[in-house]
Amino acid sequence: MDKNTQKSQSPQKIHPYWGFFSTILLVLFLNSLIFPGVFTPSIVKTDYGTFIAKVDSGLVSKVTLENGQIYYTTAKPDEKGKNIVYQTGEMGDASLTAKLLSAQSPNKSGKIQLNRIVPEKNSPIIDFFLMWIVPGLIFYFIWISLQKRMSKMGGNFLSLGNSGAKIYAESEVKTTFADVAGQNEAKETLQEIVDFLHNPSKYTQMGATLPKGALLVGPPGTGKTLIARAVAGEAKVPFFSISGSEFVQMFVGMGAAKVRDLFKQATAKAPCIIFIDEIDAIGKSRDNAMGGNDEREQTLNQLLTEMDGFDGKKGVVILAATNRPESLDKALLRPGRFDRRIPMGLPDLEDRKAILNVHLKKIKHGDIDLDIVARATAGSSGADLANIVNEAALRAVRLSESQVSTSDLEESVEVVMAGAQKKGAVISKEEKKIIAYHEIGHAMVAARQNNSAPVHKITIIPRTSGALGYTMQIDTGEQYLMNKQELLNKIATLTGGRAAEELICHTVTTGASNDIEQATKLARAMVTRYGMSDKYDMMELETINNAYLGGDASLTCSAATASDIDQEVLRIIRAAHEKARNIINNNLDEMHKAAQFLLNKETISGEEFMNIIGTKKEA
């Protein structure tokens, strides 16, 4: 084993039922000392009058007086041949002893065997031992047994000095920058850290110091943890990996102790890299308005102190990842702590091709049209793309194919985005007709507008996500900006399904619920965030929180303005809806042809659709 690999001291193996058996034995021992009557045969209780009557009748053979109780047996045994023991209480009868001595008995001697048991008192030492020492030992053994069981299960109960970080020696980290496709800007920024760890003298001669920390920010699945491991793999230094939630403890001070231990170990292994995933678990802003958390704040204060305390020239680099950089404490982000902020955004078209290539190397595949797959996955993260490739491999196995094809990848894109096909769903002819016209309505409005993404596929096969059908549009290239006309066209396309239902099927259905949601969000964003409303010009009316986690919108205007915003949003959607109606009215013949073709095949390509309706544009 490499000398830099830290060996964890595992607890001694203990039989899993040791604590249980030891407790049972102790309880039995105490019962035999303190409660000897518990394990004696059952005793039949009788009244005092019955006892005297049996004595007078000469049926009683033996009497024992003990602690104010009378135990007696008769000559008549039970069904198993054993004598029955009866119990009654003493009544303070002064003549009882004389009566028992003179009474007749079925014994050979004709007399009752009479005994009185005087209880012996324990010494004070024995009483003290039984009352205090024995219970204390029982609880001690139970405590030790539980603690060892928890440690075997991986718990950190009372682990005050153990950081819990996973430590990888330089020989164990095999990930390099070659395994991280895309994110070229992030790799270039981190390459400087790798170079410093390899050649620190080149920088120290200039008087430069290594950045103490680099913060990786971006949406989930963009490869923040992967690129942190790649930095350690490129630099060939030990890698300390820990999650921010592991610092959060039950008792105040335990998280701070973990931070101290982590930096103590890292300093001893320098040069090395510390990676703290989800640092927002301990690095949230210390805001007293909502009440503080003493344990978390102490842990954060200790982290700030440790980052100030170590010497950057020793080669200890801290990498941290978060999806919520806006929630971090300002003191954590100042220069001298996390000096660099490295965005890890969603991959663009070329990056998606590179990521797909990396994952395709792990599976058997033929000639893949990466351009189609990459364009169909706009907005997907690296983790999404890895999942898509894996789904394609699983589909190829299900179909008994020898290798993955482009069609497998295209279907896996739809599975990840819309769910698997519901082949067993039974839809009536009337509903199927409405669904077909609904989807052709979307496609017709998109095809007849300028500055609208081409139609790639139309299907009326229901999916497990709840979609009864969908129309897929794919841009010919990567698009970073959208102008006002393109957004209005997109809203019109979203309303095309409902417009077709109204004009051709003469009804409205619940199938447009998702279209309504997306159209409303887009129109509201045009008014409140994009400054595309003539009424409000470039005024900000809404802010977005947690941008990397979907975004939570909150209005920054008065109630009166909020009401006006609703009217402005309605105006935009109503105009787009009217535009969609006009396009469908002008193309009713083509709508019927395309809908009938879709009903017959259930799934058609964008090329087949365009051959039916032609290529003329109306707006």
- Residues assigned a catalytic role: 439
Comparing CA positions, the residue from 500, 489, 499 lying closest to residue 526 is 489
| Residue of 302, 344, 332, 324 lying closest to 212 (CA atoms) | 332
Distance of CA 102 to CAs 63, 97, 107, 118, Å? 13, 9, 13, 23
Q: How far apart are CA 263 and CA 260, in angstroms?
A: 5
Beta strand segments in 261-398, E: 272-277, 316-322, 340-343
Are the C-beta atoms of 376 and 474 separated by less than 8 Å?
A: yes
Nearest to 239 by CA among 184, 171, 180, 183: 171
d(CA 328, CA 280): 6
Sign of the Cα pseudo-torsion (579, 585, 589, 591, in order): positive
Helix (H) or strand (E) holding 457, with range, is strand 455-459
Beta-bridged to residue 168, according to DSSP, are 239
Residue 313 burial by Cβ neighbours in a 10 Å radius (0-12, 13-18, 19+): middle
CA distance 324 to 105: 94
Of 70, 63, 66, whose CA–CA distance to 111 is shortest? 63
Q: Is 356 helix (H, G, I), strand (E, B) or coil?
A: helix
For tokens 């957004």, what's the residue? 487
Strand partners, 83: 77
Q: Are strands 455-459 and 603-605 parallel, antiparallel or unpaired?
A: antiparallel
Q: Are 565 and 524 in contact (CB under 8 A)?
A: yes
Question: What secondary structure does DSSP assign to 291-315, as a single string?
Answer: ---HHHHHHHHHHHHHHHHS-GGG-
Of 335, 336, 338, 356, the residue nearest 347 (C-alpha): 356
How many beta carbons lie within 10 A of that of residue 400, not counting itself? 6
Residue 462, Cα to own-chain centre: how many angstroms?
A: 29
DSSP for 153-202, please give it.
Answer: TT--TT-TT----EEE-TTT----GGGS-S-HHHHHHHHHHHHHHH-HHH
What element of type H or E holds 539? none
Q: Which structure tokens are listed for 334?
A: 């100042």
Helix axis angle, 559-585 to 484-500, nearest 10°: 60
Using alpha carbons, list the distances in angstroms from residue 12 to 16, 17, 72, 148, 150: 12, 14, 56, 9, 13
In whole angstroms, give the CA distance from residue 191 to residue 198: 11
Q: Cα–Cα distance between 422 and 378 in angstroms, integer?
A: 25
Residue 125 CB coordination number (10 Å): 8
Encoding tokens for residue 96?
Answer: 């009882």
